[in-house]
Structure 1
């Protein structure tokens, strides 16, 4: 299977999954091979509508950070939140995020591991 990966000033790049190599077709030329339009077998993708990374297996999204927390009133799915939302949530619950923790998944894990216990009534 060959899929288009990106367009550049010099041409269009395609990934040949069978031969494990990039094929570059110069700008203005058409590829002399068949291109898969909606590949369902890509391993990694980006959800452009949400602006978030998502891992795909057979075209189905898989959560990369399956962390959920609850403050007694509201439940939060950390894997569905942006970095800005995660930092805001951490601030609201007085969880300090170290400066070296910058990736969304790492921030979600840090919040999950440092989430204050909720008293059961």
Structure 2
């Protein structure tokens, strides 16, 4: 798995953070499927409040053909869209960096790299990486 990050800082006091989890197109995970599903997360940081003010998670679904193109494309390319998009959750509330990191690591609980990236921000109980397949 390879997390793909995008930080958009051109919105005044608001900064957008996006994460999409990508898996190699030749992964055995996709042998019996016509589509590929990726976890996606979007959040907004407010500089003036020094807090996150929005967080949402979704699942993006790609045909195998489109996914191969997506895998090779940087996230900042706004002309590339998933074949389908399903919102999983949305939070419009004030979140500290630590609260945000805990929620992000729970959404991507099986991605060791994301948990590792956020480890300094996580509460002590979230610093342990959940084994693959564990909930």
- Which protein shows a greater Rg? 1
Identify which of structures 1 and 2 has the higher relative contact order when contacts are C-alpha pairs closer than 8 Å and 6+ apart. Answer: 2
Per residue, is there more strand in 1 or in 2?
A: 2
Per residue, is there more helix in 1 or in 2?
A: 2
- Does TM, scored on the shorter chain, surpass 0.5? no
TM-score, scaled to structure 2: 0.27
